[in-house]
Each structure stands twice: as C-alpha cells, then as structure tokens.
Amino acid sequence: MLLRHTPKEITERSALVINPAKTCQPIGAMYAALGIHGCLPHSHGSQGCCAYHRSALTKHYKEPISAATSSFTEGASVFGGQANLLQAIENIFTVYEPEVIAVHTTCLSETIGDDIKQIRDKAEKSGVVPGGKHVIYCNTPSYIGSHVTGFSNMVKGMTEIAESTGRKNGKVNVIPGWVEPSDMEELKRLAVLMNVPITLFPDTSGVLNGPLSGEFKMFPEGGVTMKELREAGDALGTLALGEWCSADAARSLDTRCKVPCRVLDMPFGLKATDRFVDALRTIAGTSVPEEITRERGQLVDMISDSHQYFYQKKVALFGDPDQLISMTEFLVSIDMWPMHLVTGTPGKKFEKRINELTAHLPYEVNVQAGGDMFLLHQWIKNEPVDLLMGNTYGKYIARDEDLPFLRWGFPILDRVGHQYFPTVGYKGGLRLLEKILSLLLDRKDRDDSETVFELTL
C-alpha cells in the first residue's frame, strides 16, 4: 500500500514529517503517571488530547486507561486554564478518589502560559486537595521533543515528592524507563533474586497487565506508592535505565536529596543486562546469585545454538532512543547487522551512540534522530534487510517489502504478549532471540525450495 507512495530516491525535506516515528509528550507523561499507585493522570488541555492518549494506551495494553482532562473550551484558551484546573482537581478528588493526581500540560496550556505549579499550590491552599492526597505535575509541551521527553518529565516530576531525612534506608531506586509492565515485573524479580531492596518507579506492573477480576478498578493494585516515592530520597543510590527516559529524574534526586546515581542503558540483551546486574550488585554490596548466573548461561547457550542463523543478517530498526541503543548492542553481539535506525525523537547523541556501537562493522550504518518512517522505508528500498523491528506502524513497510517483522516498542496495536512477557534481562533476551529466530526460520522454511527444505534446523 505505502509502496506506491514511497519513492526510492531520497530528497531533502525540511518542513514536514511523513509517517511519524514518534508522537507528542503528553502520552509519555500519562503512561508514567499510571505507574504510581492510585494515580489519576490529568491532561491540562482540550478533550481530544486526553481521548487520543487514552485510546492509544488502551489499544496497546488492552486495559482500561483512566485519565481526566481539563476540557478546555474557547474561554479557557483566552482567559487561561486556572479555573478549569482548579475545578478539575476538586471534581476528581470528590468523585474518583485517587491518592494522587498527576497533571501534565499540552501545547495549548503551555502556549497560553498556565503556571501549573502556582495553580497546584493554590489548590492545596484553598483546601480542594484532601489531607494526605497529592497533586504532582510536569510540563509537557507537545512541540518539544517527543513522547519519550514527556515520559522523562513526568518521572522527574515524581522525584519532587522525595524527601531526605539524612538517614539512608538501604534501598536502591531503579528507574526503569518506558518499558512494559512485564519488564518492570522482571526487573523487580531480578532485584529479589539479588536480595536488593529496590523502589521501582514508575511501576506499571499490576496496573496495566492486571487479571480479569470481574470488577472495573479505576485504580488497580500495582504502582509505586507515594510513600515509596517520598522515601526515595533516603535511598543508597539510583540506577537510571536509559539516558532519554530516566536520567533527568535520577539527576534531580541526586541534586535535591544527594542520592548518587548511575545512568545505564536499558537492560535489553546480554551486555546491557550484565551491566545492570553488576551495578545492582555493586551499589547494594551483594553478590550475584547462582540463579541469575544460570539464566545468563541459558541465554549464552541459546545464542551459541543458533549463531549460524544470526550471522550477518541485516536488520532495520525504529523506535525510541534508549531501546534502540541497547537493541543495537545486542544485535551486534549476536553477529547481526543493524543497517538502518530511525528514531523520531530528536537528539544527536543518539546517532553518536549508534555509530560507536557499530563502528567496527564493515559497512556504514544509516542512523537518524528526528527521522520518520518514510525515510526508513526509503533506506530499506535502497539497501534491503532481512528483518524489521519496531512498533506496529512498521507493518506497512513489512508488507510492502515482504519482510519478517518483529513487533517491539510502543505502540503495539495488533498483537498481544508484550504485557506479559518481558524482553529485559536474560529471560527477556531468551524471548527476543526466540522471536527473532522464529521469524528468520519461518521465512527460510517458506522460501526454501522443496529440494533444500529440511526437517531439522
């Protein structure tokens, strides 16, 4: 379908995006806020923003997504949204009874210049915020950065709850970045195995991968609690997973509460998981248990069993910077060749990291921050690949170019599994390999002539 519309020849474009590989900040803030227990995300803007974000998250998680909106009208857009936000805060605490409201802005409220901190303080003073309840906020202008920026901003907003009593509580903060609820669950499992008490935030496990209970719960069981967020200021240290998603929050904790931080890559694949496990071990002063060593060994074993199939297979990837960096490292480590990489999120640092990770390979990798799917498609047309990896929007290219396609990232609108099966850690690595391998071998089985078609692979 897109085939007919995408020419092979690449021409300079300066004023437009065709088929975006990103979306705007507020949805990231909304997703992050859902990782707080009892939190109702609130979109300070028109109704449409909130509806779109809820729809997109609903389609990805297949779970009810509750979020409120200031329901801006023309009046609010002229006279400012303070009245709307104050009324919203009062209404929300009255009827939906969350523990906390997490307000994020939109291009509309940013441009009219609403001062959310001032409005929040006013709400607290005037008594519409019940005792023991909270309003946190962050600014998420849609015309800066991407959904990843919005996620990072809301996580940073969470750290403002943290308080330092001057006495360390022996816990480690882990900021997982924009990963799936299943991934967050897996990170917690690894910490338990290592016997390291952690505070994971945000934590959408139990919120967006809940069971069918027969009840609609606006605020499911999971999520980091406000108490835990407050105590994050007394942690031994913070591990921030992903420069784009998590570093700002970790640095803010460092500055405000003197909690030292390390920024790591997201633990996708062998090496990045090694670094995560090692960092956790170092910061908590424990040792790596046999169980985790065994899981690592299994991953190495699976790579060795199948390395001949990965050898020099060309891959095109798109998605968000933190994920792509770790995935590129993983692919390279199993002898695959990342050829084309696009993220919609701006930031030249991304291109630099990818270039470093692929510097030793015998070809020039195409990498673009602030790129779009149209460009990716053109690159693929010029230099075909064996595998495409990315969110559901890749299915058009996969169909047009007849490519094996691994759905990985956000959003996934047409498959299930990401809610339940992690791709972080060694176990996650096994799952990624299994998927990659199945795609490659299914393709081989499909395309092999009858003569060479084989039972055993």
Partner 1 sequence: MTETAKAITSECPETLEERPAIPAGRETIFEERKDQIHRIGEGEFAMACNRDSLAGAVSQRACVFCGSRVVLYPIADALHLVHGPIGCAAYTWDIRGALSSGPELHRLSFSTDLQELDVVFGGEKKLAKALDELIPRYGPKAAFVYSTCIVGLIGDDLAAVCRAAAKRHGIPVIPVQSEGFKGNKREGYLAACKAMRTLVGTGDTSGISKLSVNIMGDFNLAGETWIIKDYLTRMGVEVVAGITGDGRVDSLRRAHGAGLNLVQCSGSTQDLARMMREDFGIPFLRVSWIGIEDVAESLYAVAEHFELTQPELAGNIVERTAELVRAELAVLMPQLKSLRRDLEGKKAAVYVGGSFKAFSLVKAFRHLGMEVVIVGSQTGTEEDYRELAAICAPGTIVVDDANPLELSAFLKEKDVDIFVGGVKERPIAFKLGVGFCDHNHERKIALEGFVGMLNFAKEVHASVLSPIWRFVPRRNLHNSPMNAGEEA
Considering only residues 105 to 134 of the shown chain, the ones binding partner 1 according to CB under 8 A are 106-108, 111-112
Classify burial at 359, counting beta carbons within 10 Å of its beta carbon; exposed 0-12, middle 13-18, buried 19 or more: exposed
Q: Residues 242 to 301: which contact partner 1 by CB under 8 A?
A: none
What is each CA distance from 401 to 1, 245, 381, in whole angstroms?
10, 32, 8
Nearest to 322 by CA among 183, 417, 207, 186: 183
From 32, 33, 36, 40, residue interacting with partner 1 (rule: CB under 8 A): 40
CB of 120 to partner 1, least distance (A): 14
Place of tokens 């921030």: 240
Interface with partner 1, residue 27, by CB under 8 A: yes
Output the smallest distance, CB 99 to partner 1, in A.
13
The answer to whether residue 64 forms part of the interface with partner 1 (CB under 8 A) is yes
Distances (CA, A) of 235 to 163, 200, 231, 251: 10, 12, 7, 13
Any contact of residue 309 with partner 1 (CB under 8 A)? no
CB within 8 A of 302, min separation 6: which ones?
A: 430, 433, 434
Stretch that binds partner 1, among 211-219, 237-245, 277-285, 424-432 (CB under 8 A): 211-219
48 binds partner 1 (CB under 8 A): yes
CA dist., res. 175 & res. 203, Å (int): 9
Identify which range of 1-9, 242-250, 279-287, 306-314 contacts partner 1 by CB under 8 A. Answer: 1-9
Nearest to residue 276, comparing CAs of 194, 154, 156? 194
* Greatest CA separation for the chain: 80
**Residue whose structure tokens are 């990045």:** 272
Rounded least distance, CB 267 to partner 1, Å:
28
Q: Least distance (Å) from partner 1 to the CB of residue 206?
A: 14
Residue 144 or 288: which CB sits closer to partner 1? 144
Which listed residue (79, 91, 402, 448) binds partner 1 by CB under 8 A?
Answer: 91
- Within residues 398-457, the interface with partner 1 by CB under 8 A covers none
Residue bearing tokens 């997504």: 65
Q: What binding mask, one character per residue, do residues 350-389 give for partner 1 by CB under 8 A, x or -? A: ----------------------------------------
3-state SS, residue 307: helix
Does 9 bind partner 1 (CB under 8 A)? Our answer is: no
d(CA 76, CA 184): 38
Shortest Å, Cβ 133 to partner 1: 12
Any contact of residue 103 with partner 1 (CB under 8 A)?
A: no
